[in-house]
Amino acid sequence: MLKNPSAKYRPFPPVTLPDRQWPNRVQTEAPRWCSVDLRDGNQALAVPMNVSQKLELFHALVKCGFKEIEVGFPSASNTEFTFNRRLIEERRAPDDVWLQVLVQAREDLIERTVESLMGAKRVIIHMYNSTSPAQRRVVFGKSKDEIKAIAVKGAQMIKDRLHRLKGTEIMLQYSPESFSATEVEFAKEISEAVMDVWQPTPEHKMILNLPDTVEVAMPNVYADQIEWICRNIKNRASLVVSLHTHNDRSTGVAATELGLLAGADRVEGTLFGNGERTGNLDIVTVAMNLYMHGIDPKLDLSNLNGLIDVYERCTGMTVPPRHPYAGELVFTAFSGSHQDAIKKGLAEWEKGGRPHWDVPYLTIDPGDIGREYREVIRVNSQSGKGGVAYLLESEFGIALPKDMQREFGPIANDEVDRLGREVSGAELKAMFWREYIEREFPWQLEGFETESKNGVVRCRAKLLREGKPTDLTGEGNGPLAALVHAFGSANAPKFEITNYSEHSLSAGEEASAIAYIQVKLADGRTRWGAGVDTNIELASIRAVLSAINRT
């Protein structure tokens, strides 16, 4: 890298807009959405989708609620043309869905595009030509007037062919490609020249799409460009101003959100940001950002996992694990403090009483998009007692007392650290079983009998001590007190019970109850134990022996 990058690179010049209004505005409703997955997202694939894959993804987009879908570039290849014809001839597009097609301002391509639309119910013909200084100089070698003439001629060629689409409802769209790198005055001039040909009205608007084809500035500059156009272009009421951002500076979402505040009405993008270079706008992220602020995004993303499956199967792309809202890990927490906060927040929400979602670290309820709470917390060596306890309870119904969480959490983390990876809930349960339930040495229960008389409980415990039969007897005001007495009257450790709790286990477990007991030894040390049995009394006896064995 250069020590002085200013010798080679220069900042993009800002737009003069001292009285800009967008910073003071608040978004209150969803824009019109247009998916370009089947065109912009498709052309960016190493192996473009075939017709069957495009059909599957098209139906997934319709199911999500998209009413405008750019289905392809029908003049570019036979696959694109065939796909268009199948959508139309097999009546696969609902009557309220607009099929958008892209075409350059060239007569042969326009002719082929119009042919591909015969018999369609609703179509958007999207024409574009590049307008930036670099494109004018490097690609075309043409002046501003010559570039404008290309746009005007293309607009006229489309207009001259519209009569052939009899019975089809048509909307026209123009994009000055590379708008964000174009002088706003020239973008306005060329757009108005196209408007002069198409003659949009407030009743029959045209779409003016202003693409951030390559991000060249901070998103506030793009917002200034959009507001400048919205305030200065003629016949604004006859236009639907549309955004189409890319992500070269990793601010595609921000640029779109600021562009909406700046006056835009419509957004083009792809489901998870697939597109050329660093990708298109991620529509899912913008839609869910609206949702988390209480705004209906007008898209149904309630089965996001299913949508991801279709997307990955059709495109061959994958959704990264940290992708906003959609990634596998976005509703997880490995940090112990995060896990504890999430657990407490979910518990508060489930109690009810709060009108609005406010769970630490979770901007939305995972259940709203088809995710489950058990996916929220996962455990690795960075996790704390909260995450460990949450997984055991949510997946297996094992509700550890708080003091026991403090004891078992570090034990589990040491084991996870040794493994050097994340562990599953089943692995965590196995650790707990080994540490507590399966502790049968030196003391192992063979049998336990009690009898009660005049409020006094007498017990007889048949035990193995290091494999040798041992019988202990004792009495107290209950079975546990009698067992404590029995140990105290024999040549055995002396202890007292300081904590006790029990509960039923969830359906499907091999036993129906689990008991947790903390004992305090004569030297002051404390240990927890746990026992499982169909009989709650025996579960508590096993828990005492577990605790003693762990000393």
* pLDDT tens, residue by residue, 441-477: 999 999 999 999 998 999 999 999 999 999 999 999 9
pLDDT of residue 350: 92
**CA atoms 167, 267, 51, 96: torsion sign:** negative
Q: List, edge to edge, every strand of the sheet that includes 468-476.
A: 443-453, 456-465, 468-476
Specify the pLDDT at position 377.
Answer: 60
The CA-to-CA distance between both ends of the chain, in Å, stands at: 61
Chain mean pLDDT for the chain: 93
Distance from C-alpha of 8 to C-alpha of 5, rounded to nearest angstrom: 5
Whether residue 112 is contained in a domain is answered as: yes
What span, in angstroms and rounded, lies between the C-alpha atoms of 447 and 424?
Answer: 35
Q: Is residue 327 part of a domain?
A: no
The structure's pTM equals 0.80
d(CA 235, CA 230): 10
37, 113, 436 from 419: Cα distances, Å: 41, 59, 20
Q: Which amino acid is at 75?
A: S
242 domain-assigned: yes
Phi and psi dihedrals of 489, rounded to 5?
A: -90, 0
CA distance 529 to 527: 7
**Are 520 and 375 found together in one domain?**
no
Q: Cα–Cα distances in Å, from 58 out to 62, 97, 101, 163, 457? A: 6, 11, 14, 28, 73
Is 362 among the domain residues?
Answer: yes
pLDDT reading at 376 higher than 60: no
The pLDDT of residue 329: 85
SS3 readout for 274-311: CCCCCCECEHHHHHHHHHCCCCCCCCCCCCHHHHHHHH
Looking at residue 132, what DSSP letter applies?
A: S
284 and 375 in a single domain? The answer is no
Within 10 Å of residue 141's Cβ, how many Cβ atoms? Answer: 8
Round to whole Å and give the CA distance between 363 and 361.
6
**Is residue 7 one of the residues assigned to a domain?**
no
- Using the 3D structure, point to which of 284, 315, 346 is the last residue of a domain: 315
Tokens of 177: 């490609």
Helix axes 184-198, 219-232, angle to 10 degrees: 40
Cα radius of gyration (the chain): 34
**Positive or negative torsion for Cα 496, 500, 504, 506:** negative
- Find how far residue 394's CA is from the centre of its chain: 21
For residue 384, pLDDT over 90 is answered with no
**Tokens linked to 539:** 């579960």
Residue 210 sits in the same domain as residue 77: yes
Nearest to 309 by CA among 47, 65, 60, 50: 60
DSSP symbol at 201 = -
Q: Would the pLDDT of 508 be above 60? A: no
Shared domain for 412 and 458, answered yes or no, is no
Distance of CA 415 to the CA centre of its chain: 30
Identify the CATH number of the domain in which residue 539 sits: 3.30.160.270
Shared domain check, 447 and 407: no
Same domain for 294 and 348, yes or no, is no
**Whether residues 111 and 217 fall in one domain:** yes
Mean pLDDT calculated for residue range 146-161: 98
Do both 375 and 347 map to the same domain?
yes
Q: What is the CATH number of the domain that holds 283?
A: 3.20.20.70
pLDDT tens by residue, 265-293: 999 999 999 999 999 999 999 999 999 99
pLDDT reported for residue 177: 96
- What is the phi/psi pair of residue 395, to 5°? -95, -30
Other CB atoms within 10 A of residue 419 CB: 12
Q: Out of 388, 404, 435, pick the residue that ends a domain.
A: 435
User: Mean pLDDT over residues 382-395, rounded?
Assistant: 80
What's the confidence (pLDDT) of residue 507? Answer: 57
CB burial string 168-187: b at 16+ within 10 A, e below: beebbbbbbbbbbbbebebb
CB 297 within 8 Å of CB 291: yes
Confidence of residue 382 (pLDDT cuts 50, 70, 90): confident
In a domain, 382, yes or no: yes
Q: Mean pLDDT across the stretch 503-525?
A: 83
373 & 516 share domain: no
The answer to the question of residue 87 being in a domain is yes
What mean pLDDT is predicted for residues 298-313?
96
C-alpha–C-alpha distance, residues 390 and 451, integer Å? 39
Question: CA 333, CA 382: separation in Å to the nearest integer?
Answer: 9
CA 150 to chain centre: 42
Return the closest-CA partner of residue 460 out of 489, 438, 431, 439: 489
Measure the CA–CA gap between 191 and 194, rounded to whole angstroms.
Answer: 5
Beta-carbon contacts of residue 291 (< 8 Å; ≥ 6 apart)? 297, 301, 364, 368
Judged against a pLDDT cut of 70, whether residue 438 lies above it is answered with yes
Q: Say which DSSP state 246 is in.
A: B
pLDDT of residue 379: 77
Tokens for 107?
């007569």
Tens of pLDDT, residue by residue over 84-117, are 999 999 999 999 999 999 999 999 999 999 999 9
Q: Which of 492, 545, 487 is CA-nearest to residue 517?
A: 545
Mean pLDDT of 516-525: 93
- Of the candidates 122, 125, 130, the one whose C-alpha atom is nearest the C-alpha of residue 113 is 125
* Domain end (from 393, 409, 435): 435
One-letter amino acid of 78 = N
Co-location of 237 and 106 in the same domain: yes
Q: Are 388 and 484 in contact (CB under 8 A)?
A: no
Whether 323 maps to a domain, the answer reads no
Say yes or no to pLDDT of 418 above 60: yes
Q: Could you give phi then psi for residue 272, rounded to 5 degrees?
A: -125, 25
Q: State the average pLDDT over residues 39-66.
A: 95
Q: Are residues 384 and 453 in the same domain?
A: no
Average pLDDT over every residue of 353-367: 94
Residues 189, 295 share a domain: yes
Token pair in block for residue 87: 């959508």
Residue 510 has pLDDT above 70, yes or no: no
Residues 294-304, mean pLDDT to the nearest whole number: 97
Domains contained in the chain, number? 3
Residues 226/262, Cβ–Cβ less than 8 Å: yes
Neighbours of 46 (CB within 10 A): 6
Residue-range definition of the domain harbouring residue 385: 336-435
Paired with 266 in beta bridges are: 32, 242
pLDDT above 90 for 425: no
